[in-house]
Structure 1
Amino acid sequence: MNKDAALVVFSGGQDSTTCLFWAKENFKKVYALSFLYGQKHQKEVDLAREIARKSAVDFEVMDVSFIGKLGRNSLTDASLVMDQEKPADSFPNTFVPGRNLFFLSIAAVYARERGINHIVTGVSQTDFSGYPDCGMLL
């Protein structure tokens, strides 16, 4: 196993970009894995690819569009408009159920198959906007 390598679950957003640069400081080799899950903002993946290229990090994108089809949400369903405010008694309609769990599960298999011992992900508890899967510290 490669104890000097890390895999970053990388969306290209602020949290995962911070994680990417943290990993570059703490591991000899860093890989970045991004996902297409039917999200409207696929441009984020293009940005992730560019950040990885400029950072000299191996980058791969996996198509996991089934995730966006499992539940209704405004990130993957063009017929829904994004909530302007989070409903008081519910999650925002941008919440994609299970998304981070799927990403971490896929990343774990990806890392295992490549002998990578460390997975880095950025989910911000203080900026979780009502998403229950970002309230955990990993």
Structure 2
Amino acid sequence: MKKNEKAIVVFSGGQDSTTCLFWALEQFEEVETVTFHYGQRHNLEIECAKKIASDLGVKHRVLDMSLLSQLSANALTRDDIDIEEKKGEVPNTFVDGRNLLFLSFAAVAAKQVGARHIITGVCETDFSGYPDCRDVFIKSLNVTLNLSMDYQFVIHTPLMWLNKAETWKLADELHALDYIKEKTLTCYNGIVADGCGECPACKLRKRGLEQYLETKGNN
């Protein structure tokens, strides 16, 4: 696509962002990653991101966004709030403003290093109802960032219209399925690889992998 250009991946060390990192390495000549420390429950998330970036030989930086946890009390930043999902409501793992701020700061970082391309793993197909994972939000923010800095950013969302099974399929096509299965941290309870098996993130991840492997086995 843009092999001679530079990109930054918004990177958490989870399944989706790691799939996006492998995707970006196929698409761009130079790739960097940025991880945000926003008071999330598990510092292991940041350590996973550092380790994966090191394994893949890409530059990695961690930016302090701890103010976000002070403003938005939620189950991802507070140990005393149980993770809950209620039908018809946005889960209490939603962090108000997170993707808005993350992508805005990623854009500032990108401009400083001469990168036009920003990659994020948001998805509107298998998502939890988070409003900042919607395609309309990403397109709107892309325009706003371009206007705010007079710079032609392009926000890429390789997973936007993929369900979890299709995300695993993409990982397999990128020759990264086993690595992503074994090295990434998706679990809300901070357990690497297959996770706790009980939280919503683990259930979604496991169900998607089972669906993909079943489809692959039937082909």
TM-score, length of structure 1 as denominator length? 0.91
Richer in helix (by share): 2
Matched residue, 1:99: 98
TM-score, length of structure 2 as denominator length? 0.58
1:118 aligns with 2:117: yes
1:63 aligns with 2:56: no
Partner deviation per Cα, 1:5-46 (whole Å, 9 max, x = no partner): 100000111111111011101111100000100000221111
Partners of 1:24 and 1:52 lie apart in 2 by 11
Partners of 1:72 and 1:16 lie apart in 2 by 24
Partners of 1:62 and 1:28 lie apart in 2 by 24
Aligned partners of 1:67 and 1:99 also within 8 Å: yes
Partner deviation per Cα, 1:47-74 (whole Å, 9 max, x = no partner): 1111110100000011110111112201
| TM-align CA RMSD | 1.3
Partners of 1:97 and 1:122 lie apart in 2 by 17
Matched residue, 2:215: none
Report which structure shows greater RCO (CA 8 Å, sep ≥6). 1
Matched residue, 2:128: 129
Structure 1 ranges of 4+ moved more than 3 A = none
Matched residue, 1:26: 27
Partners of 1:118 and 1:67 lie apart in 2 by 25
